[in-house]
Amino acid sequence: MSTRSIVLGGGCFWGLDHIFRKQLTGKGLINIAVGYANGDPSVKNVTYEKVCSGKTNFVEVAKLEYDSKKLPTSEILDLFFKIHDPTTVNSQGPDVGTQYKSAIFTTDDEQLKLAKEIKEKFQKEWYPNQKIATIIEPLRIFVDAEEYHQNYLNKNKGGYECPTHFIRTKPKV
């Protein structure tokens, strides 16, 4: 098995977690954890409340661990760009703040190159009239979110769901 991980931010981490679990379970997905990524390294004891203050620069993310022999990174990134609106800056639907930015945090150079290529593909084919705001950078910091956030929407049926988290089937032109 070739285990890899990639960290993705696209609005509320509950919605990302829910869709990735639904779409990728049984296809090479090993684990998902929601958490906070690439914020200010001087912030100690990162919590949801601190991240929501807007003063930490941390992004709400889903960290996917996967078997790259069964689930190619390109398939994950393709789904990522289809399940949120990557053209909004620091927001998804009603969720607004720096923690909701669209972001791809890579764990190696191959992922970094691939993420840039797929972003460019979506820019040309899906969003030719809008600029994709997704940031792409190496993962520096990942902190697991509190336990009650893990697998939240499966544990809390009817819990909050972001109206922008769904699988888009056609380009926004």
Domains and CATH numbers, the chain: 3-155 (3.30.1060.10)
> CA-CA distance, 102 to 155, in Å (whole number)?
25
Short-list 39, 67, 55, CA closest to 145 = 39
Residue 115 pLDDT = 98
User: Does 160 have pLDDT greater than 90?
Assistant: no
Residue 173 pLDDT = 66
User: Does 56 have pLDDT greater than 80?
Assistant: yes
Question: Has 12 been annotated as catalytic?
Answer: yes
Catalytic-labelled residue, pool 7, 8, 12, 76? 12
> CA-CA distance, 39 to 65, in Å (whole number)?
21
DSSP state string for 124-164: HHT-TTS----EEEE---EEEPPGGGTTHHHHSTT----TT
Residue 155 pLDDT = 86
27 contacts 71 by C-beta, under 8 angstroms? yes
Pairwise pLDDT comparison (90 vs 160), residue with the higher score: 90
3 state SS of 24: helix
Short-list 93, 79, 87, 88, CA closest to 12 = 93
Q: Which residue has 């994950």 as its token pair?
A: 76
Residue 1 pLDDT = 66
Mean pLDDT, the chain, integer: 94
* Percentage of the chain exceeding pLDDT 70: 98
User: Does 164 have pLDDT greater than 70?
Assistant: yes
User: Does 162 have pLDDT greater than 80?
Assistant: no
User: Does 74 have pLDDT greater than 70?
Assistant: yes
